[in-house]
Each structure stands twice: as C-alpha cells, then as structure tokens.
C-alpha cells in the first residue's frame, strides 16, 4: 500500500483532522479526515491522506475533500473518500471518485424469525443460500434477461425487475433513489460491458461481496429500532454486492476514454488516476450517463438476489416470505456520483457528489426519505467483517453541514488481499470462524483467507467516530451467524 504519509495533519477535535490547503500547490480546499487518536496513526501508514489532498485540487471542488474513518488507499480517490464539485463553476466528475464496482452497496432485510428458530438450522440455511444465489468469479445468474431487457434494467433499475415479479411494491421506496437514477444512458454503455453483464444480474460475485445472516444483539436507540422494525434477538439478512462485470467495464472504458480529457480542458492533476472531465462537457455527460446505467444495474442485481433470498427462507422455514416478515429495511449505495443540492457559502447549489466507499446519510425530515423514516433519518448500513459485527445507524443534521450527507461504508481494510492470504497460511479460517459462532462458505479457494476478520479495521471504532462526531447515530448492532461469499 506504499510509503507512509508524512504531510501535515492538524487536529481539529477528537474526531477530525485537517490537511490545510497550503500543504501542496493546487489545493483549492482543505482536506478533512474523520478518525480518533488511535485510528489516525494507522491511517498515516499509507498514502490515503495524500489522496485526500490530491482530490482537493480538482476543479470546482467545494467545501472540503473528505475521508471517512474507514479510509484506505484506492484508485485515484482513497476508499472512504467524499468530494462535491459544482458543475456551474467548472466542476468535474472523476471515475476514480466512484470506483470500478459502480454502486457497490448494501441492503438489509428484516425477518420476524427469532434466533432460536434459525440458529439450529444455520448450516442448512447457509448451504441453501450458497446453492440458490450464484456466487464466485464470472458466475452467471439463474434468472435470464435478453439484451433488450438488459437495456431496460440499466434504464429503469430495480423497478424493472420488480415488474417481473422479482420483488414487492414497497421495495423501491426502501431503496436509495427508488432504485433508479434518472440520468442513465443505455446508449453510452459499451457492447463489451453488456456482454460481460449479460448473465450476471442476480449474482453475488467475489471479493468482499457477501450475503450474511445476522442476529440483532444490541440496540442503542429503542425508538429508532422500533420504527426500523429491529428487535433484540431478531434475524436479519444483509446483501453486499454491486454492478458486477458490467460496472467494472463501464469504469474501465471511461478511464481509457478520458485519458486525454484533462489536457483538452486545461486541467492539471497531481495524479493521473484522478482523470476527469467537466460535468458539463460531452465527455463528462457520457461518463455520468454510463455510470447511472451501471448503478441501475446494481440495484436490479441486489433486487434479484433479495428475491432469491426470500425464496430460500420460505423453502426452509415454511410459508411465504410475507409470512416470515421479510421486508426490505433499506438499500444504500457506496460507490456512486450523484447530483444533489446543498447550501454552500449561503447559496443553494446543485453539486456532483462523489462517494467512493462512503454511504449517503440524510437526516430526519429530508425530502428523499421514505415517510416511515422521516422522523429518525435515513438508515445507514455499515457492514463489518464476517467475524465481528455490522451496524445500523441513522443520518444526522451534521452530515448535511459537514459531509454532504455522507457517512462511512464499512470497516475498511488494513491488509491487502495478498497480505491476508499470506497471513492465513497454515490456518483454517473456516474453523476460526466456527469458533466465533459463524458458519461461512465461499466458492473461491482463497475467499475466506482474503476476507478474514483481521484484514479489516474493527468496525466498532469506525462507527463510534461518526457517532461522536454527530454525523450519524447508532441504532443497532448485528452479529453474524452465517455467511456466503464468492
């Protein structure tokens, strides 16, 4: 992950660290990293703070270049990075600020099943989920879509697959943006991207993607938990996946197509991985249209997997998914760029908000929230590692003031995949997880080793920072019981 960061970090308070815009030529705004005293020492161990400073040089950037406490080194932007640019002021859009897995995101499904009914059958449940939900590198889906249907998917998102009977009417309302970004341009998606995504809608993929069966083991906010339908000892299912090979290809295409665009528009960059284009340019519009299409594919992908999970539970526990109370609590994206309105310098401005490894966290009363959640704020879903915990939080007003309505997206890696595999040599990660009470199943030979708990920060520390900073508020903790991975 490269050499340590040696630039300035000014402590603002117990949760915030500033990189002043005087640090390097070209910085237009300060950088701001959210971390505590312990975490900041680890964060300085790689070049991710340098990436925060580099992002601060992008044309049209407003506010601050931000990094959540799950920050680690990434392509161009750090993972955990947030940046908003103003198109009216020459603001740019950068594929590195979204990432290769466009609209990788998380959704959480409630159930009315108690732990006592599920835990004795956990091995069978994990086996059935592994059988029913395709996972692994290049694995095709069980539900097929024609090329014409794929174009509908990238245009309409999850509502299109729901019309095919692969979801419930209320699922769209409980999905960020209703499961569809309106600016999608299917004609801007390459033939190669369609080919690669042709049979992958409704598949989990590999890497850090997972489906996890969890138990609610701690509640911090009784009122919010009640509104969200979470009860102590209740069973939930978390799905973490994105746009699969289609999204990867959209990003790859854009990075190649935009290679010479900064020079065309007189943009000087400290890192060529920050390749970008003005939002209001043919090149920027082309990437934004293709990215929205990939984002819609990702929402449809998670929706189809929701259908498969509901089917699996219904088969094993009897009755219908409706009878089992398998409603969608929420779905949030964490690799995306969206046009959103914020007040900056006393003016309402339409901004292009990049969230790379960061999740939207709108506060109570926000117009985009479902009516059911208006009083508490948007659910923020923060997966941890498969041996510890995940969290449900809700967005707070301070997020709108400081982070463009954004929060952390997970625990954040502390080990590369190569290092994690090396660290697992001679060990049985499967057995170690069993000793923690977690049944895990992965298709790939190295899947469990790459994603071992020790490869990640402790998510408890990550969410505590943003809870103390009043960016989001803790509602409940979820402990893993069973997990499938690619």
Residue 220 is classified by DSSP as S
Burial bucket for residue 318 (CB in 10 Å: 0-12, 13-18, 19+): exposed
Neighbours of 212 (CB within 10 A): 27
Neighbours of 87 (CB within 10 A): 20
- 265: Cα separation from own chain's centroid: 31
In order, the DSSP letters of 92-120 are EE-GGGT-SSTT-EEEEEEEEEEHHHHGG
- Per the CB < 8 A criterion, the answer to whether 85 and 279 are in contact is yes
Residue 418: burial class (beta carbons within 10 Å; 0-12, 13-18, 19+) = exposed
User: Two tokens at 293?
Assistant: 């299409």
CA–CA distance, 274 with 287 (Å, rounded to integer): 14
Q: Return the closest-CA partner of residue 249 out of 200, 209, 179, 300.
A: 200
φ, ψ dihedrals at 406, nearest 5°? -125, 155
Q: What is the largest CA-CA distance in the chain?
A: 64
Instruction: Record the tokens describing residue 372, joined without a space.
Output: 């059911």
- 3 state SS of 477: strand
Instruction: Single out the residue of 340, 185, 356, 188 nearest to residue 274, CA to CA.
Output: 356
Q: Is 72 a catalytic residue?
A: no
The CA-to-CA distance between both ends of the chain, in Å, stands at 24
CA distances from 45 to 7, 409, 462 (A): 12, 20, 17
Q: Which of 72, 409, 430, 467 is catalytic?
A: 409
CB 454 within 8 A of CB 420: yes
- Which ranges of 209-339 would DSSP assign to H, the alpha helix? 222-228, 244-257, 261-264, 282-317
Residues 6+ apart with CB under 8 A from 35: 15, 17, 43, 69, 71, 465
Q: Catalytic residue positions?
A: 409
């Amino acid at each position: 992950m490269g050499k340590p960061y040696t630039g300035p970090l000014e402590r603002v308070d117990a949760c915030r660290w500033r990189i002043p815009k005087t640090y390097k030529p070209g910085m237009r705004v300060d950088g701001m990293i959210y971390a505590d005293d312990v975490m900041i020492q680890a964060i300085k161990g790689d070049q991710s703070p340098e990436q925060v400073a580099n992002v601060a040089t992008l044309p049209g950037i407003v506010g601050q270049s931000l990094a959540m406490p799950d920050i680690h080194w990434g392509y161009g932007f750090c993972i955990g990075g947030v940046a908003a640019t103003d198109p009216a002021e020459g603001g740019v859009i950068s594929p590195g600020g979204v990432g290769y897995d466009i609209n990788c995101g998380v959704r959480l499904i409630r159930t009315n099943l108690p732990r006592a009914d599920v835990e004795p059958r956990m091995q069978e449940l994990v086996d059935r989920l592994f059988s029913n939900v395709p996972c692994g590198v290049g694995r095709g889906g069980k539900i097929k879509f024609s090329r014409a249907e794929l174009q509908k998917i990238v245009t309409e998102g999850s509502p299109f697959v729901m019309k095919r009977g692969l979801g419930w009417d209320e699922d769209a309302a409980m999905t960020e943006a209703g499961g569809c970004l309106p600016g999608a341009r299917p004609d801007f998606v390459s033939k190669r991207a369609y080919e690669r995504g042709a049979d992958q809608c409704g598949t989990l993929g590999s890497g850090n993607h997972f489906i996890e069966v969890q138990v609610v083991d701690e509640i911090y906010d009784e009122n919010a938990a009640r509104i969200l339908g979470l009860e102590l000892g209740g069973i939930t299912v978390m799905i973490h996946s994105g746009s699969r090979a289609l999204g990867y290809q959209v990003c790859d295409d854009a990075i190649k197509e935009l290679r010479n665009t900064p020079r065309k528009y007189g943009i000087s960059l400290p890192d060529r991985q920050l390749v970008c284009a003005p939002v209001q340019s043919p090149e920027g519009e082309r990437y934004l249209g293709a990215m929205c299409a990939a984002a819609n594919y990702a929402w449809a992908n998670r929706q189809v997997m929701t259908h498969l999970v509901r089917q699996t539970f219904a088969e094993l526990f009897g009755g219908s998914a409706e009878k089992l109370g398998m409603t969608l609590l929420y779905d949030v994206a964490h690799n995306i760029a969206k046009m959103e309105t914020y007040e900056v310098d006393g003016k309402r401005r339409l901004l292009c908000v990049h969230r790379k490894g960061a999740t939207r966290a709108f506060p109570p009363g926000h117009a985009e929230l479902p009516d059911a959640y208006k009083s508490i704020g948007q659910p923020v879903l923060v997966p941890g590692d498969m041996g510890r915990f995940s969290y449900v939080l809700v967005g707070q007003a301070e997020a709108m003031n400081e982070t463009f309505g954004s929060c952390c997206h997970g625990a954040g890696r502390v080990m590369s995949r190569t290092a994690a595999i090396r660290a697992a040599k001679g060990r049985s990660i499967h057995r170690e997880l069993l000793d923690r009470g977690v049944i895990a199943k992965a298709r790939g030979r190295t899947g469990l080793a790459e994603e071992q708990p020790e490869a990640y920060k402790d998510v408890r520390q990550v969410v505590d920072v943003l809870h103390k900073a009043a960016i989001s508020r803790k509602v409940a903790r979820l402990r893993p019981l069973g997990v499938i991975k690619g």
